[in-house]
């Protein structure tokens, strides 16, 4: 869709006087609400010591005492996880932590296809029958009312660690550790499932003084970026240090996955985590079983790790093919209702593991909430992805009379319902959107600053790097340049899908890459002028480092 360009505005008088930083960097920091000297230092140089005390969770002390009691009595502890990358890394973090503390620990990861999301009573019965007396959930459990009651009836203590929204009363668990718990007062609400699991590990190791939890930070960073949570506040610290730990990771499974993805450099960033490692971890649960990814992350056998990494690589390629196929089918349905404020598509036996990806792609493409459902044997299993300020969990709550089960975040959720109720459910969502007076506009491309040629300096580029790690809540800065002149261009990539240009910007002759935008060549001629929105960075090849623009959008001069 055509995007509206909006350059963010800030009054010059509101900019702090900080002569030690370039003016462009001061503007970018101010746009993020960072204007005080101390907060700037904290942002540019995150401090691990400034992580919040895990015991600020009201049930943390209780949870820690119960875990150590289980360790002392040699009781079996079972970690109950979900099946996405956030949950798998959370399960790995807690499993490795408990192993280090010499706990008798096992794990349970439900099958996406036969069991679905979250806790289920059959699994709880099986875990209890196997001798477990303490279940710790990761990335699930907040809304497991019946399962918590069953745990009590079976004499099993339940510690819930989660970060999902509460959609009803709080389960009657032994302890609940969730920053979204309205009864809690933890100061940072945006921890991921793995982030909360790490806080439990941090609390455990605070009693031993070993500092072992720091070696788990690479897994924490991977799960945090994979779950698309804000990279501000405490998450910024966790991911910053996690990237450093990843460069010297202790986990042979992660090393095998990096090797399989042909990543040989130790210079990792959030792109590495979110677009290279996370899809491979997620592919296990989407196509086969998430147990494959978990066993890789905790593996101590190099041969096993290599085998599992290769299997994940193959599953990811299969997932990519399925996603393309189902996205095309869903798009053909959505085109017929594209005037609606909420969009819905469903298909018989669509792979449940990819409907979330399909919903996400189409939500971005159409700039409105999208729900994608897989139907089979009278049941529909769906994923929803939202845009802007539309709270998709609140929308599902409005239509809950049609739902068997639902939960998630404001921007992403899962749900199930009877197939025969799909259209009535959809109408209820449309009514909700109307009640909100939801308006659909062209998607907006927000731009941090308009650059002049004099702003393109190595000093600015080096400072831009220090603004990372980038992601949700701290996006990579976007700039607009006016009147760039095309010097030359060519197509690159295995299928000629990318456009590589050289453009003149003032006195600069800059390399510019437009990834996935080969279609632009039809509108280009040497000497042509254009405006472009881009990210400013550098490219290193054969020991030579050059400035580079990553082109995001263009407008051509007539």
pLDDT for residue 345 is more than 70: yes
Q: Using an 8 Å Cβ cutoff, are 164 and 408 in contact?
A: yes
| Amino acid 91: pLDDT | 98
Asked which of 313, 330, 355 is the last residue of a domain, the reply is 313
Nearest to 17 by CA among 5, 30, 6: 30
Q: Which of 435, 462, 478 is the last residue of a domain?
A: 435
Task: Based on the fold, state whether residues 220 and 95 are members of the same structural domain.
Answer: yes
118 φψ region: left (φ > 0), alpha (ψ -120 to 50), beta (else): left
Listed residues 403, 435, 467: the one ending a domain: 435
CATH of the domain at 477: 2.40.50.460
Asked if residue 495 and residue 430 are part of one domain, the reply reads: no
Whether 99 and 24 map to the same domain: the answer is no
Q: What percent of the chain has pLDDT over 70?
A: 99
Which pLDDT does position 253 carry in this prediction?
96
Confidence (pLDDT) at 278: 94
Which of 5-9, 108-112, 114-118, 140-144 comes out lowest in average pLDDT? 114-118
Mean per-residue pLDDT, 237-260: 95
| pLDDT reported for residue 1 | 58
Same domain, 466 and 519: yes
491/356 same-domain check:
no
Query: Does 353 score more than 90 pLDDT?
Result: no
Tens digits of per-residue pLDDT, 368-384?
999 999 999 999 999 99
User: Is there a contact between 101 and 75 (Cβ–Cβ < 8 Å)?
Assistant: no
Query: Do 385 and 302 fall within a single domain?
Result: no
Angle at 540 between CA 537 and CA 546, to 5 degrees: 55
Q: What is d(CA 486, CA 477) in angstroms, rounded to the nearest whole number? A: 23
Q: What pLDDT sits at residue 273?
A: 94
State the pLDDT at residue 14.
Answer: 67
Residue 3 lies in a domain: no
Please indicate, yes or no, whether residues 225 and 127 belong to a single structural domain of this protein: yes
CB 533 within 8 Å of CB 480: yes
Q: Which whole number is the average pLDDT over 239-266?
A: 91
Whether 417 and 461 share a structural domain: no
- The predicted model scores a pTM of 0.87
CA distance 363 to 367: 5
Q: Do 395 and 531 have their domain in common?
A: no
Helix (H) or strand (E) holding 393: helix 392-398
Structure confidence at residue 100 (pLDDT): 97
- Whether 509 is covered by a domain: the verdict is yes
Residue 159 pLDDT level (bands cut at 50, 70, 90): very high
Q: Has residue 326 been placed in a domain?
A: no
Q: What is the domain range of residue 506?
A: 446-556
Q: Does pLDDT of 155 surpass 70?
A: yes
Task: Verify that 295 and 410 share a domain, yes or no.
Answer: no
Query: In the predicted model, what is the mean pLDDT of residues 68-93?
Result: 96
Q: What is the pLDDT of residue 10?
A: 85
Instruction: Look at residue 15 and tell me if it is in a domain.
Output: yes
- pLDDT, one tens digit per residue, over 402-454 is 999 898 888 899 999 999 999 999 999 999 998 887 777 777 899 999 999 99
Sign of CA dihedral 6, 8, 12, 13: positive
CATH of the domain at 380: 3.10.310.30
Banded pLDDT at 94 (limits 50, 70, 90): very high
The whole-angstrom separation of Cα 444 and Cα 75 is 55
Rg of the Cα atoms in the chain: 24
pLDDT per residue as tens digits for the range 300-319: 999 999 999 999 999 999 99
Q: Which of 2-11, 13-22, 181-190, 545-554 has the lowest mean pLDDT?
A: 13-22
| Same domain, residue pair 350 and 375 | yes
Is 238 in contact with 221 (CB distance < 8 Å)? yes
Contact status, residue 240 vs residue 224, Cβ threshold 8 Å: no
Residues 292, 282 contacting (CB under 8 angstroms) = no
Q: Which residues pair with 105 in a beta bridge?
A: 77
Query: Domain total for the chain?
Result: 4
Looking at the structure, do residues 423 and 355 belong to the same domain, yes or no?
A: yes
- Is the bond leading into 471 cis (omega within 30 degrees of zero)? no
Residues 174-204: tens digit of each pLDDT: 999 999 999 899 999 999 999 999 999 999 9
> Does 476 fall in a domain?
yes
């Amino acid at each position: 869709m055509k995007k509206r360009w909006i350059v963010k505005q800030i009054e010059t008088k509101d900019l702090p006087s900080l002569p030690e930083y370039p003016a462009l960097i001061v503007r970018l920091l101010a746009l993020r609400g960072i204007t005080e000297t101390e907060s700037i230092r904290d942002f540019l140089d995150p401090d691990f010591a400034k992580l919040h005390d895990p015991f600020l969770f009201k049930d943390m002390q209780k949870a820690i005492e119960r875990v150590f009691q289980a360790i002392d009595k040699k009781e079996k502890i079972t970690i109950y996880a979900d099946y996405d990358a956030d949950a798998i890394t959370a399960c790995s973090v807690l499993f490795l932590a408990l192993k280090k503390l010499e706990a008798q620990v096992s794990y349970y990861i439900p099958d996406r296809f036969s069991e679905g999301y979250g806790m289920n009573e059959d699994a709880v019965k099986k875990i209890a029958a196997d001798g477990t007396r303490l279940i710790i959930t990761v990335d699930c459990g907040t809304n497991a009312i019946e399962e918590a009651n069953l745990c009590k009836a079976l004499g099993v203590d339940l510690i819930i660690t989660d970060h999902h929204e509460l959609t009803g009363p709080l389960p009657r668990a032994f302890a609940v550790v969730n920053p979204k718990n309205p009864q809690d007062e933890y100061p940072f609400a945006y921890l991921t499932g793995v982030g909360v699991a790490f806080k439990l590990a941090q609390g455990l190791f605070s009693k031993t003084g070993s500092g072992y939890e720091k070696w788990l930070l690479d897994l924490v960073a991977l799960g945090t970026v994979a779950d698309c949570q804000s990279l501000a506040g405490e998450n910024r610290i966790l991911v910053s240090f996690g990237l450093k730990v990843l460069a010297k990771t202790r986990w042979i499974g992660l090393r095998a996955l990096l090797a399989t993805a042909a990543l040989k450099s130790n210079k990792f960033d959030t792109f590495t985590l979110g677009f290279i490692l996370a899809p491979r971890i997620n592919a296990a649960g989407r196509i086969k079983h998430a147990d494959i990814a978990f066993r890789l992350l905790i593996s101590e056998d190099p041969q096993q790790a290599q085998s599992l990494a290769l299997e994940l690589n193959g599953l990811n390629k299969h997932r990519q093919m399925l996603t393309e196929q189902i996205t095309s089918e869903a798009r053909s349905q959505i085109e017929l209702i594209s005037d609606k404020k909420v969009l819905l598509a469903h298909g018989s036996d669509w792979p449940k593991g990819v409907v979330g990806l399909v919903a996400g792609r189409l939500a971005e493409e159409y700039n409105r909430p999208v729900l994608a459902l897989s139907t089979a044997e009278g049941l529909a299993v769906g994923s929803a992805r939202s845009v802007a300020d539309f709270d998709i969990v609140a929308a599902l709550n409005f239509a809950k009379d049609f739902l068997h089960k639902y939960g998630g975040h404001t921007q992403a959720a899962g749900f199930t319902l009877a197939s025969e109720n799909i259209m009535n459910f959809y109408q209820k969502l449309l009514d909700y959107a109307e009640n909100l007076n939801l308006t659909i506009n062209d998607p907006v491309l927000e731009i941090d600053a308009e650059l002049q040629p004099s702003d393109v300096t190595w000093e600015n580029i080096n400072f831009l790097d220090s603004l990372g790690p980038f992601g949700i809540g701290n996006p990579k800065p976007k700039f607009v340049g006016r009147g760039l002149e095309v010097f030359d261009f060519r197509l690159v990539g295995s299928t000629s899908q990318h456009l590589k240009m050289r453009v003149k910007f003032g006195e600069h002759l800059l390399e510019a890459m437009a990834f996935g935008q080969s279609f632009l060549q039809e509108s280009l001629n040497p000497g042509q002028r254009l405006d472009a929105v881009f990210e400013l960075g550098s490219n290193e090849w054969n020991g030579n480092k050059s400035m580079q623009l990553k082109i995001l959008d263009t407008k051509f001069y007539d």
